[in-house]
Amino acid sequence: MSKLSQFSRSLAIVKKDMLIFYLKGPVVIMGLLFPFFLFGAFLIGRDLSHAYLFVALIAMTAFFTSTAVGPTIIPWEARSKTFERLISSPISITTVLFGDMQASFYFGIIITSFISLTAIFLGIGVNLLIFIPVVVLALLTFSAMTILMSSYPPTDVPADVMMLSSLVKFTLLFISGIFVPLEKLPWYARAVSAISPLTYMVDALRYSVSMHGYFPLWLDLIAMLFFSLIFFFSGVVIHKRVLEKRFT
């Protein structure tokens, strides 16, 4: 089967995911409401520049929106038995997962674009030549991460996957330089932050608003690209290995 045919079939997966999962309760709560209230808690009582707040807002929005959809899809479909029908059709598991990743990506694009355009309209100065590729690459990275997060445990209980994914997301959130800049962290905390893809998005976004980043911009971009490839392909491998366990 040609690559073009597989891609066109992945778009059918995207359409199905959009219609079914975008308005699911956990997706709305974790992808829309939670970053809004988290940013409000971060903002209150702090005297921060508009540029710093913009970076924090976009990073939180992109991270939570693009990771809200993916972890819920496979368990829900395994429970409703639609996942069995998908993998028994003439479509590869890789294509199914690529479609799920795109659904996460488009959800992140829609919400993040709306927030970004609103902030720019209100007067935030942004270098779009840096901002756009950084956000797109970051959303791809986080969307690919959802493929890995939904791969294990091989369960048909969405709450099990959501609990594990929430633990991962909150851990990454607090070590990624959003709340405390990397340069103010002790060396061991900076070493830990290097394992988080969110760290590199936050660092790269600072360049787009004329702030200094901790890492070179090229390193931020390469790191996010590396994470996206590792997350997706390792997620595909694990999904294939645990496929039978989902139906037992």
- At residue 248, does pLDDT exceed 70? no
The pLDDT score that the predictor gives to residue 53 is 86
Residue 110 has which token pair? Answer: 């829609």
What would the mean pLDDT of 108-130 be, rounded to a whole number? 90
Helices then strands, counting H and E runs in the chain, come out as 12, 0
Phi-psi region of 239 (alpha: psi -120 to 50; beta: other; left: phi over 0): alpha
Residue 22 class from Cβ within 10 Å (0-12 exposed, 13-18 middle, 19+ buried)? middle
DSSP 6-48: HHHHHHHHHHHHHHHHTT-HHHHIIIIIHHHHHHHHHHTT---
For residues 152-168, average pLDDT: 74
Q: How many domains does the chain have?
A: 1
Provide the domain limits for residue 54: 3-247
Q: What is the pLDDT of residues 71-88, one digit of tens each?
A: 888 777 777 777 777 777
Closest CA to 168 of 155, 185, 152, 184: 152
Q: Provide the percentage of residues in the chain whose pLDDT is more than 70.
A: 92
Q: 88-96 — which CB contacts under 8 Å span 24+ positions?
A: 90/1, 91/6, 91/9, 91/13, 92/1, 92/6, 93/236, 93/239, 93/240, 93/243, 94/6, 94/236, 95/6, 95/7, 95/9, 95/10, 95/13, 96/10, 96/13
Distance of alpha carbon 200 from alpha carbon 213, whole angstroms: 9
Report the pLDDT averaged over residues 95-101. Answer: 88
